Structure 1
Amino acid sequence: MYNKITLKNGLRVVIEEIPHVRSVTIGLWVKAGSVNEKENNNGVSHFIEHMLFKGTKNRTAKELAEVIDNIGGQINAFTSKECTCFYAKVLDEHFETAVDVLSDMIFNSNFDEDDIEKEKKVVIEEINMYEDTPEEIAHDLISKAIFNNHSLGFPILGHADTLLNMDRSEIMRYFNEHYIPNNTVVSIAGNVKTQEAIDLIEKYFKNWSYSDNIIKEHVAPEIESNFLYKSKETEQLHLCMGMQGIPASSKYYYSLMVLNNILGGSMSSRLFQKIREEKGLAYSIYSYPLLYSNAGAFIIYAGINPQYIVDVVDMILAEVNKIKKNCINENLLQRSKEQLKGNYIIGLESTSSRMISLGKSELLLNKIVPPVEGLEKIDKITLEDIEQIIEILFYEEKLNIAYVGKVNEKDEVNKKFNSLVSLKQEA
């Protein structure tokens, strides 16, 4: 069971006591991601994530790492489309140390000019590493295709030229605008007493001043139909197909998860069995949903030999059409529901995963679904529910295609794909 309080400054705190473990994980969730950016500052959310590890008024960058390493803990962060999370996992006896370090990073980071310039080089190398990973490029391309010019289609890392043009004043302006208590959630899971955790959070965060600044919610994007490709010398071609989806708050959330399991979310799925096991045309093929606050998409990925790209696209569309024709029976539905329930529970068996589930849900959806309630929702899914989510997803006018690689007969392939969608562009 979890508990939730809101401090006077607007900071939300969610806590789940898990007394049978020895660890505790704390995360600071800030509603600042690439969706909040513009083209001229794309990547600033991720860059600020880096800068909070570069030293504070109280600790050098090395000391920030050492203080957690020396107690056998872990500290890290990540940036997504809609939020940034800083987290630490430690033994329960070192919980206050984790709170102290994270609060020091939030309140006292230096943002030193020299460090900013050095870290730009680091992030540019991260971007270069990403450019050497064609599968990652393909996933970014399909987001760009689906969401077109909306900020949900922006890359989280940004671009090297945009990053180089950012100065300290612009970075601090964004930081001060978004890093405010009423735009933040503290999520805690592990062997900790609720009142003790609340007391510690109040001790370290109560002086964080409330801000009247209201972070504007991004307007929901219009889902487009596009074809994007990037020519790249690779042995394998990386293909993504994307369709309109649902937001994370949709009543069809669990129906989508069940459908994903059936189509491409597991080794027993239709796509895996047909294209990899039966035809041997791909090593990696899977599907997954993109779920955001007020938008979503459904993605299918395949890593294939370039010569089979048209065949694989046709096979994927054939499997989608089979499902559209109600090729799902009660037995298959029940199997997928049991699989989803198992994955759901196993995915919540660590303090880290529980912290992430609590923090992300509270920050982006303003609610938390307890595991028991989640399992009940899965059990209640009917064939009618699956039919409804199929109608939402597999809407032909919203098909998007993106690939990265080298196609010998590019014009012929692109002509084929251009006939399936309305727009085409080489990235």
Structure 2
Amino acid sequence: MYNLFRLNNGLRVVVENIEQFNSVSVGLWVENGSRNENEFNNGISHFIEHMLFKGTKKRTSKEIAEAIEDIGGQINAFTGKEATCYYVKVLDSYLELGLDVISDMLFNSNFNEEEIEKEKGVVIEEINMSEDSPEDVLMDLHSIATWGQESISRPILGYEHTVRGFNRNMLIDYLQSYYIPENCVISICGKVDMKTIKEVVERYFGAWDSKNKSITKYNSPEIKKTNFFRKKDIEQLHVTLGMPGLEVGHDDIYTLILLSNILGGGASSILFQKIREELGICYSIYLFISSHINVGTVNVYTGLNPQYIKVALETINHELKRFSTDRISPEKLMKAKEQLKGSYILGLESTSSRMFSNGKSVLFKDKINTPNDVLSKIDSIDYNKVDAVMDMTFRKGIYNSAFVGKDETLLKDIYKDTLVEFKLDKTKI
């Protein structure tokens, strides 16, 4: 049973009751992430996420964790390009405690100046750890290759110099601007008393208001045709190739997921079988979708010995062209639909995964996508939809690329003057 309602202050609440469960997951979703930031405050959304765990007027940092963990629950948060989520998972009898802890963090966090300075060190270490991961470096680099100077290209963690520039007033002003009811959703899933839940949520979030409001709105940036290389002293060459995709919530998103699974979604996919199994030139190759508000991309990732890059690129382009022009057999299409339905259903076997799905759907599209809705959309995939999605995505071919490795010589032979070496300037973005 679902219920979607709005409090008088504009806060949207989505509740899914699953009577047979004995747990409940609660998430506070905020439509705010690195895409809301500028060159001076990049990383502030992620930093605020950290600070909300550092103590409130009635709980220390340790007591916030203990309030949930002492009853066997879980508490955590994450920040993305367009959303931040704070969530708990507890036994259903502790639903109000979960709401109390999240609301306490939201409304009563201290933003102690000493804690802010300490947390800068923590986040800078997180940035350094990301710099040591070629895959993380690659994803940030490819984001810049795809979006250029648009805010969507900015890294979620920010840069060391932007993090060092944060202060208490800056953090509080930003939070009061974007952490407003109109930008937020409370998502609850599990064993819930549907008769009283609105009253309970109202008790903790009904008085929420803000005078300095920044309603989140995003533009529709153009996908760039850029090829970036970044030098790292590592053995493998890490590669991403990007092409146009579909925005979050697009009617044909499940068709795109299905096609992506066939081309590069697993060990039985076309790219895995061709490049890893037949050619034996890489260990990992897969395709992933990045869907955002108003825009989206489809991307291929692989990591390999640099000497194989020419044959890898030629093979990927050849298989992509063949995939986008050859007709998928009816048997293959049916099998892919069943595979997609199965993975979707298996992914909903916990209150937290359903809470995430419901919260994201309401936050970005202001509606609930029930499992029956999704399964119906998958069942409705036909050759007309396949053809339409091929036109919007795969048939457009590779637009951009990013490479991380220690030598670009072979890449320059392939890309000539279109390959740009990216050097991170730590003094400015």
TM-score by length of 1: 0.96
Whether 1:77 and 2:77 are equivalent positions in the alignment is yes
Task: Give distance in 1, aligned partners of 2:166 and 2:211.
Answer: 25
Amino acid at match of 1:171: L
Quote the residue 1:118 is aligned against.
118
Aligned-residue RMSD, C-alpha: 1.5
SS in structure 2 opposite 1:195? Answer: coil
CA contact (8 A) 1:180 1:211 kept: no
- Aligned twin of 1:384: 384
The letter of the residue matching 2:112 is D
Distance 1:413 1:278, change over 3 A: same
> Contact between 2:307 and 2:410, CA under 8 Å: does it hold in 1?
no
Deviations 1:375-398 (A, max 9, x none): 111111112211221121135576
Q: Secondary structure at the match of 2:8?
A: coil
Q: Who is 1:417 aligned against?
A: 415
User: Percent sequence identity over matched residues?
Assistant: 48
One-letter amino acid of the counterpart of residue 354, structure 2: R
Equivalent pair of 2:412/2:419 in contact (CA under 8 Å): no
Report Cα offsets for 1:36-61 as digits up to 9, x if no partner.
00011110000000000000000000
State the match for 1:9 in structure 2. 9
Residue aligning to 1:426: 422
Secondary structure in 2 matching 1:138: helix
In the TM superposition, residue 423 of structure 1 has moved relative to its aligned partner by: 6.0
What are the equivalent positions in structure 2 for 1:30-41 lying under 5 Å apart? Answer: 30-41=30-41
In the TM superposition, 1:274-285 aligns within 5 A as: 274-285=274-285
Tell me, yes or no, if the aligned pair for 2:25 and 2:90 is still in contact at 8 Å: yes
Contact preservation (8 Å) 2:24, 2:91: yes
Contact 2:240 2:401 survives alignment (8 Å): yes
SS at 1:424 equivalent: strand
Shift of 1:257: 0.7
User: Once the 2 structures are TM-superposed, how far is the Cα of residue 65 of structure 1 from its aligned partner?
Assistant: 0.7
CA contact (8 A) 2:42 2:154 kept: yes
Classify the secondary structure of the residue corresponding to 1:354. helix
Which residue number corresponds to residue 166 of structure 1? 166
Label 1:395 to 1:40 Cα distance change in 2 as closer, same or farther (>3 A).
Answer: farther
Which residue of the partner structure matches residue 183 of structure 2? Answer: 183
Tell me the alpha carbon deviations over residues 343-395 of structure 1, each in whole angstroms, 9 at most, x when there is no partner. 11111110000000000110011112111011111111112211221121135
Q: C-alpha separation between the residues in 2 aligned to 1:41 and 1:138?
A: 22
Residue correspondence of structure 1 range 44-193 to structure 2 within 5 A: 44-193=44-193
Residues 395-410 of structure 1: pairs in structure 2 closer than 5 A: 396=396, 399-407=399-407, 410=408
Structure 1 spans left out of the alignment, 5+ residues: none
| 1:211 CA displacement | 4.8
| TM-score (norm. length: structure 2) | 0.96
Structure 2 equivalent of residue 358 of structure 1: 358
Residues 205 and 301 of structure 1: CA distance in aligned 2, closer, same or farther (over 3 Å): same
In 2, the alpha carbon distance for the partners of 1:240 and 1:418 equals 18
Question: Once the 2 structures are TM-superposed, how far is the Cα of residue 216 of structure 1 from its aligned partner?
Answer: 4.1
- How far apart, in 2, do the equivalents of 1:424 and 1:250 lie? 33
Which digits, 9 at most, give the CA deviation of each residue in 1:112-150, with x for residues without a partner?
A: 111111000000000011111101111221111111111
